Amino acid sequence: MSKAFKEILCKYIVVKIKAIIAVKEGMVNQEVTNMLSMLKEHFELFSIQDLPYVKKVDSYKVIESENISSAITIGGDGTLLGLSRYLPEYVEVIGINMGGRGVLAQIEKDRLGEFIEDYLSKNYIIEKRMRLKAKISDLETVNVLNEFYIQRANFNQTPIFFINVENIVNIKEKMDGLIISTPSGSTGYNYSNRGPVVEQDLELMILNPVMPLKVLPVIIVKPYNINIQVSSHAYIVADGQLRYEVLPGETITIYKGDYLSLVKLKSSTSQINKILK
């Protein structure tokens, strides 16, 4: 095959973008099938779910083995959170919103065709979103995009929380729980517990006490290491989806994790404005 013929042939070969995809459970209807059909024209799709037009895989190790560069979620913020914990920073995350508030999943389903054109022409923004990790004794958790929620396991007594932030903050107080949130998660449980909503690209951690025995402020700190002990049996919940057991006296260390690369259209609404709608 001549060099000139190869050059001509390359003009007609469409190189698809490799993407891992997740669809909200129970949402694979005709509308979603049509969306998958549209996506498969430009993306080579992989998933651990059984989906039309998508290659089923056994694990998220496919991201590394297949050099996957994009991730797509169809559903809402919960679907995006569920997939995001398996994604390294270099994977660009596209959240298609199917009708909810869509603070994280910001690509509206009715604009999917327009978005694909923008994405292929690089007409979009990548937001680097801060994530958190935790270590419970020797166990390291996944990256979380929104928050960790430490909650008591025994409802017959209120535990004492011992909280130390680089010796800048020292708290010893009885409370039901503690939310440690990222800026992205400021619109989640933190907001429901009357915490502040902050800009998504800031570098900070929000410590929001849940039902303390005495009034405590919400504390905002730089991304320090936060060490926490609970006087009785507790759980630490990651992004509202995964739960880890914490035994009395075990030390939980929460610290800055890897970034997540979130795709946004240039016309997207900020998360603060999403809340104010």
Distance (Å) of CA 121 to CA 92, 124, 125, 167: 15, 8, 12, 49
CB atoms within 10 A of CB 243: 12
Is 50 an annotated catalytic residue?
no
The domain covering 132-256 belongs, at the CATH homologous superfamily level, to Probable inorganic polyphosphate/atp-NAD kinase; domain 2 (2.60.200.30)
The domain covering 16-129+260-276 belongs, at the CATH homologous superfamily level, to Probable inorganic polyphosphate/atp-NAD kinase; domain 1 (3.40.50.10330)
Which residue stretches of the chain have pLDDT < 70? 1-14, 269, 274-277
Residue 80 buriedness (CB in 10 A; 0-12 / 13-18 / 19+): buried
In 3D, which of 64, 119, 56 has the Cα closest to residue 90?
A: 64
- Owner of token pair 């039901």: 176
Residues in the chain: 277
| Structural contact between residues 228 and 252, judged by C-beta atoms closer than 8 angstroms | yes
pLDDT at 9: 44
pLDDT at 78: 95
The Cα–Cα gap between 99 and 107 comes to: 10
pLDDT at 66: 97
User: What phi, psi does 30 have (nearest 5°)?
Assistant: -65, -35
Q: What is the CA radius of gyration of the chain?
A: 21
- Owner of token pair 């008591």: 152
Domain with CATH 3.40.50.10330 in the chain: 16-129+260-276
Give the angle 72-74-79 at the CA atoms, nearest 5°: 90
Q: What is the pTM of this model?
A: 0.90
pLDDT at 10: 47
Which residue among 50, 58, 77, 201 is the active-site one? Answer: 77
Residue 253 buriedness (CB in 10 A; 0-12 / 13-18 / 19+): middle
In 3D, which of 227, 221, 241, 204 has the Cα closest to residue 134?
A: 227
Domain with CATH 2.60.200.30 in the chain: 132-256
Q: Which amino acid is at 107?
A: I
